[in-house]
Structure 1
Amino acid sequence: MLLRPHLPTVQTPPATLPTVPAPAVPTHHAACTCVHAPTAPAAPARRPLPSVGAGAVAAVLLGGVVLTALVTAVAVSAVSVAVAAVVLRTLLGPGHHTRRHHR
């Protein structure tokens, strides 16, 4: 019982959505002499985003897979060269990797 997960119960959403009251618009008489602040200019019209086809998405994913494979290949090659260098240094013995001075 202690380690057994319990799923929460899901509440059912209400059948109707709550309504939001509309903002109140001030009304004035026809002969209003009050001074109002200038209204802000309308926001510029937004252009729709260009649609991206499935082929473009596939090309980007394929390019990412290929680049990842290339980086992995370079990393594996670097590790193998490092291992080979350590093995060769070990096989040659301790006296061969230091430079001796002749007098």
Structure 2
Amino acid sequence: MLQPRIPVNPLPTGIVTPLIQPTPTADIEPTQTAAPAVVAPSRTTVQLTPGSTLALAAGGGAVVLVVGAVLVSMLLAVAITGVSVALIAVVLRLVVRDMQKGR
């Protein structure tokens, strides 16, 4: 019942590819030779200058410092919240104990 239906792209109509027939050239010699194809490198290489290396090191150091500051602040927030909850629990315990004694 719930089967996916894959749309089918129609073939293009009206596009006619001309047929090129080779002409016989047995007596004609080529006057020029084909140049060898230049092979492009598969990857571009990144060349680092001393200035760009220094900039990368400074940027990496800045990222480490920012991430460290964020993590320390989050840890500090969790610690402060834990201490606050513990103090509230102690105060509530004392209040409940005093109410049970009838003071």
TM above 0.5: no
Q: Tell me the TM-score normalized by structure 2.
A: 0.45
Q: RCO greater where, 1 or 2, for CA within 8 Å and sep 6 or more? A: 1
Highest Rg: 1 or 2?
Answer: 2
Q: Tell me the TM-score normalized by structure 1.
A: 0.45
Higher helix share: 2
